[in-house]
Amino acid sequence: MYGLARPLLFRLDPEAAHELTLRALRLASASRGALSELERHYGGDDPRLRVSVFGLDFPNPIGLAAGLDIPALASLGFGSVGVGSVTAVAQPGNPRPRLYRLREDEALVNRMGFNNHGATLLARRLARLRGLASDDRRRPRVPIGVNVGKSRSAAAADAERDYLAALRAVWRFADYVVYNVSSPNTPGLRDLQEREPLERLLAAADGLAGELGRVPVLVKLSPDLSTDQLRVVAEVAAASGAAGLIATNTTTTRPGLRSVDAGEAGGLSGRPLADLAASVLKVLRGSTSLPLVSVGGIFDADDVLDRLRAGASLVQLYTSFVFAGPGLPRRIKRDLLARMEAGGWADLRLLVDASR
């Protein structure tokens, strides 16, 4: 069905298509019957794909990076779902147009700017999901990560307080939280990856953990950092109690693009990011023993295996889901199991553990 719908969706403005997809997912998430059908067609997990990391159990290593509706996406077969990035203060984001498809490159360029309704509203929604009866299909059945960003209205000097307000709102309802300090679409945000501001942010999260209880805290990094900068971030994260690192966010570089509108400002994601994301993963794996989540240019089972062999514990994707549609998680898991059987891997955890 997606093969029929995709040409129609791709004729729409990219953000209009995104919003239409969100509405469809919200409708599906509100219906037990729709969720049952999605689960029947797309869901299901083989126990050989389970991964345990950050003190959490993931039914498979394939997560959705950010931003969409939780119950429907869990029914499509993702092993985790990220939401956000959310900010302490509701904000409209950057002016439209701010999302572009690069079809020839299987890539997106976005300069969304953390458009969201604020951390308090997201927390209420997550609380409702967590409060559903245990036998309700709408209750989250995979780990949910909340990505937190800096409000555009917050000055750099107030970043710690601003992040802390957002974290406090969502803390009890997230399985893990992610410091997004690497989006290229909020002025000055990437400066928070430097040693001193990152130490302060992680210290604030540690203080909140002492007050509200422990939740794994991850840091999402830019692919545009130098090798030395990546090593500094890895050192700070390990010393400050971070549970892991997510590598990577989108890039401001434009490696070998063919699309005519490739010059739009914003962060690039998708297939052209693959080599850069893989090289960042290699640097980090050589610099830290923290668990790593690899993101960027992941389209199939071979991509997943390459990242796991290179030292990732989990992967996340988003752009490939836009281009390939709802059958992608199921297809990757099926092919992943076939590769494991051919290679003699009885359990994915053995592969992940061997790579760390």
Q: Which domains does the chain have, with CATH numbers?
A: 2-355 (3.20.20.70)
Query: pLDDT (tens digit, 9 = 90+) per residue, 311-330?
Result: 999 999 999 999 998 899 99
pLDDT at 4: 61
Which has more pLDDT, 71 or 325? 325
d(CA 169, CA 29): 23
183 has catalytic annotation: yes
pLDDT at 84: 85
Classified as helix, coil or strand, 222 is coil
d(CA 58, CA 301): 17
Cα–Cα distance list, 7 to 4, 203, 324 (Å): 7, 48, 12
pLDDT bracket for residue 18 (50, 70, 90):
confident
* Rg of the chain, C-alpha, whole Å: 19
Buried b (16+ CB within 10 A) or exposed e, 108-122: bbbbbbbbbebbbeb
Buried b (16+ CB within 10 A) or exposed e, 275-298: ebbbbbbebbbebbebbbbbbbbb
Tokens of 184: 């290229």
Residue indicated by tokens 């805290």: 217
Query: pLDDT (tens digit, 9 = 90+) per residue, 184-211?
Result: 999 999 999 999 999 999 999 999 999 9
- What is the Cβ-side half-sphere exposure of residue 181, based on CA atoms within 13 angstroms? 26
pLDDT bracket for residue 135 (50, 70, 90):
low
Query: pLDDT (tens digit, 9 = 90+) per residue, 99-130?
Result: 999 999 999 999 999 999 999 999 999 998 88
pTM: 0.94
Tokens of 106: 């299987």
The mean-pLDDT minimum among 13-22, 65-74, 163-172, 205-214 falls in 65-74
Contact call for residues 198 and 206 (beta carbons, < 8 A) = no
**Percent of the chain whose pLDDT exceeds 70:** 93
85, 182, 183, 320: the catalytic one is 183
Of 243, 269, 247, the closest CA to residue 321 belongs to 269
pLDDT at 42: 76
- For the cut 80, the answer to whether the pLDDT of residue 6 exceeds it is no
Query: pLDDT (tens digit, 9 = 90+) per residue, 219-255?
Result: 999 999 999 999 999 999 999 999 999 999 999 999 9
d(CA 223, CA 248): 5
Which residue type, as a one-letter code, is found at position 78?
Answer: F
